[in-house]
Amino acid sequence: MDKAELLNLYNSDLKELLKISSVHIKEEIELCSILNARNGKCSQNCKYCAQSSHYNTDIETFPLVDIETVKKAALDAKKNNATRFAIVTSGKTPDESDFDTMLEMIEQLNKIDGIKSCASIGILNEQQAQKLAKTGLKRFHHNINTAGSYYPEVCTTHSFEERLNTCKLVKKYGMELCCGVILGMGETVEQRIEMALTLADIEPDSIPINILMPVKNTPFENYQDKIDEENILRTLAVFKIANPNAVLRFCGGRMRLSLENQMLALKTCVDGIMIGNYLTKTGRDPVADMEMIKETGRKISCLTTSKAN
Ligand code: SF4
């Protein structure tokens, strides 16, 4: 589908649009969870981010956590029905001094029956991508975040191309790719279509959808009104239509949608949810999420199913 066709769909009747996207939803909803394994002190100036050292955001900073903390968090996530678990660290790239410990963390995650290892540790070079694949990392997460044409408005310390290159390396070395966006950062509707098409080009296995949760003292602190619930639903539907095989995954900022609209999205275009806490924000009680999913009538992807993937 080209840009004009997707734009046409975006602006069509909402009910009809969601009906079209619902054709592509999967049978089961996949749950995943993350651990914020290193927080803050990032040299980059992403204008939405609480962890950037360019802004005075008053967050707790900490160095890389130990392996036991990662194991415990992964086992807790498993208890809450998560089938994937990611270690997430701040910073443009993985610190060379931490990299071997991260590889060890991945080895430990792979030993947990029913949990697939994921990592979100920044921009990779060829050698790092190769090492991660060799260690058995199942999936690497790296967002495009926004449209290429809007990227300079969001961050100037690294480029959109560097992000795309990391996505390509992940694919090159045979890992699954989780690559998504943050909506509501001031992008236009056309730029939302641009994102959907960029993702269709990259072909991620999973597309995390974040909706901006403005952070005090960042340049985007007053951007709460840049997208409303209807436009979030329209974007989700167009993303699903452009990327029918990918799992669209609700991540940070999901609670900006009413429960009614979260359920509508789960019935028509979203196939996954990140449960538990987000990076610098507290998430929703996983038990409440289970109840919500049950109400939609969709099944939760179980451990045995996901192990076969
Ligand atoms: S999004 Fe990542 S790279 Fe950008 S400031 Fe935050 S931690 Fe750093």
Contacts of 72 (CB under 8 A, 6+ apart): none
* pLDDT value, residue 79: 87
Ligand 1 centroid to 199 CA: how many Å? 20
Q: Which domains can be identified in the chain, with CATH numbers?
A: 3-307 (3.20.20.70)
| Closest ligand 1 atom, residue 50 Cα | 6
Pocket test for ligand 1, best of 90, 93, 163, 210 (most atoms within 8 A of CB): 90
Classify the phi-psi angles of 299: left when phi > 0, otherwise alpha if psi is within -120 to 50, otherwise beta. beta
145 Cβ inside 6 Å of ligand 1: no
46 three-state secondary structure: coil
46 Cβ inside 6 Å of ligand 1: yes
* pLDDT value, residue 282: 63
Ligand 1 centroid to 4 CA: how many Å? 33
Q: In one letter, which amino acid is 195?
A: M
Q: What DSSP character marks residue 64? A: P
The C-alpha atoms of residue 122 and residue 284 are separated, in whole angstroms, by 26
Ligand 1 centroid to 93 CA: how many Å? 10
Cβ–Cβ under 8 Å, residues 167 and 144: yes
Ligand 1 centroid to 90 CA: how many Å? 6
The C-alpha atoms of residue 51 and residue 203 are separated, in whole angstroms, by 28
- Count of residues in the chain: 309
42 Cβ inside 6 Å of ligand 1: yes
| Closest ligand 1 atom, residue 155 Cα | 4
52 Cβ inside 6 Å of ligand 1: yes
Pocket test for ligand 1, best of 53, 55, 92, 281 (most atoms within 8 A of CB): 92
Ligand 1 centroid to 272 CA: how many Å? 24
Bridge partners (DSSP) of residue 64 are none
Contacts of 27 (CB under 8 A, 6+ apart): 298, 299
What does the pLDDT profile of the chain (309 residues) look like in tens digits? Answer: 899 999 999 999 999 999 999 999 998 898 888 888 988 889 999 999 999 999 999 888 899 999 999 999 999 888 888 888 999 999 899 988 899 999 999 999 999 998 999 999 999 999 999 999 999 999 999 999 999 999 999 999 999 999 999 999 999 999 999 999 999 999 999 999 999 999 999 999 999 999 999 999 999 999 999 999 999 999 999 999 999 999 999 999 999 999 999 999 999 999 999 887 655 666 677 788 888 888 888 888 764 333 222
Handedness of CA 182, 188, 192, 194 (dihedral sign): negative
* pLDDT value, residue 84: 86
275 three-state secondary structure: coil
Cβ–Cβ under 8 Å, residues 83 and 32: yes
Pocket test for ligand 1, best of 34, 38, 39, 44 (most atoms within 8 A of CB): 44
